[in-house]
Amino acid sequence: MGAAGMGAGETGAGAAEAAGTRVDETGAGDMGAHATGAAGAVTPASAAAAGTDRFDGWGFDTCVTPSLATMRAWNSSKYRSIGVYYGGRGRGCPNQPELTKSWVSSVYGMGWKVLPVFVGSQSPCVSADSKRKVTIGSDPGGEGTDEARDAVERAKALGMVAGSPLYLDMEAYAQDDRDCAATTLSFIRSWDREVERLGYVSGFYSSADSGVEQIGAERRAGTSDLPSVMWFARWNDKPSVTGEPSLRSQDWSPHLRIHQYAGDVKEEHGGEQLSIDRNRVDAPVARIAD
C-alpha cells in the first residue's frame, strides 16, 4: 500500500500499480462529510459494517506514521483521513515511534479519521520480493485466526474500539495460480471471520487486478466470510470509488469502498513534505475511545 504497506512504495513500483497491480506499502487525501451509523447494503460477511462511523472524502497513507507536528501542518491540506500501518509481520516499516494511543487520540481530536492497516502474512505467490519472507505457511486457516486476534489486540492498545474497521493488506499476488489463490483465500476468510467475531469490521486492501479481483469473484460465487469493506488499488489518477472493472456496481456498496488512485507521490503542506499514496474514501473509519 505505498511506503507503508500500500502505495508510496517500499519498492517504488509505481508502473505496476498504474496497471492495477500493487507492489508495496506507503502513503495519500478534500475534506469530505463524515457520517455516523450510516446503514446500507453490506457484504455477505456480516452486517457489522452497517453501524460503523463513516468518512466520505480524501485520504492518504504513508509508510511511517507522521509526527503530530506534521499532522497539524497537513490540516491545511484537503486530506482528512490517514491510513496507518499499525501491525502485522509483513509491514514494510515496522518501526513506528510516533504511533501510540496518545497519537491516535490527538489526531482524532484534530479532526483526522484513522484507517487502521494490518500487513500480516502474505500470499505464497506474492509479487514483491520483499514480502516473500513473510508468506502464509502450511496452516492458512489457523494463521489467519491467530493474526486476526493480534490485529484486534493491537487496535485495542491504540484506543481503537469495537466497531472499528481493520484493513488487511494483501499485496499483489498471482491469483491465477489456483493452489496459491486457495491458500490465500483460506487465510483471508479465517482472518475476516475472527475479526468480526471479536466485534471489529473486516476490511481488505489489495491490487484491483489481484486480490480484489479474486475476492470479487468469490463474492459472486456466494462464498461466505469475505471482507465487509473493500480498499482497491488502481493507480489511474481517477479518484472514484465507482466504476472499478474488478467489482460489480452493487458490491461493497454503498459506503464500503476506498480507491487508492495514485501512489509514490510527494506532497508538501504547511512546510512538511511526505511521500504518500492518495485515496478516495467512502468507508468506515476507526472508532476512537474517549
pLDDT at residue 36, as a whole number: 33
Tens of pLDDT, residue by residue over 125-161, are: 999 999 999 999 999 999 999 999 999 999 999 999 9
**Angle in degrees, CA 253, 258, 263, rounded to 5:** 155
At 32, the pLDDT band (50, 70, 90 cuts) reads very low
Q: pLDDT tens digits for 37-73? A: 333 333 444 456 677 899 999 999 999 999 999 999 9
Length of the chain in residues, anyone?
290
C-alpha cell at 118: 494490518
Q: 20 pLDDT exceeds 60?
A: no
pLDDT of residue 243: 97
pLDDT reported for residue 42: 36
Neighbours of 162 (CB within 10 A): 13
Name the nearest CA neighbour of 92 among 114, 69, 61, 113.
61
Alpha-carbon distance of 261 to 162, in angstroms, equals 29
How does DSSP classify residue 212? H
Question: 163 in the Ramachandran plot: left (φ > 0), alpha (ψ -120 to 50) or beta?
Answer: left
Angle 14-19-24 from CA coordinates, rounded to 5°: 40
